[in-house]
Amino acid sequence: TSASEVILIKDDNITKTILFQFQASSVVFSLNIFSVSKVIHTSDYKYLAL
């Protein structure tokens, strides 16, 4: 968070852009994890917990 705070001091618009990109990539990452878990669940029921 310290890096974000430094950027916030420099330019609020840049911070918003970076935070938006971070949130977007986090959503994509979560969807990828979900897809991988689904594949693992399909191939082997024991790994449903993942």
Q: Using one digit for the tens of pLDDT, what is the confidence trace for 2-45?
A: 555 555 455 667 667 777 777 777 777 777 777 766 665 555 55
Our separate counts of H helices and E strands in the chain read 2, 0
pLDDT at 41: 54
Structure confidence at residue 49 as a pLDDT band (50, 70, 90): very low
pLDDT value for 23: 77
| 3-class secondary structure, 47 | helix
Can you tell me the distance from the alpha carbon of 23 to that of 26, in angstroms, rounded to the nearest whole number? 5
Q: Which residues contact 40 (CB under 8 A, 6 or more apart)?
A: 47, 50
Total tally of structural domains belonging to the chain: 1
Domain with 9, as residue range(s), is 2-49
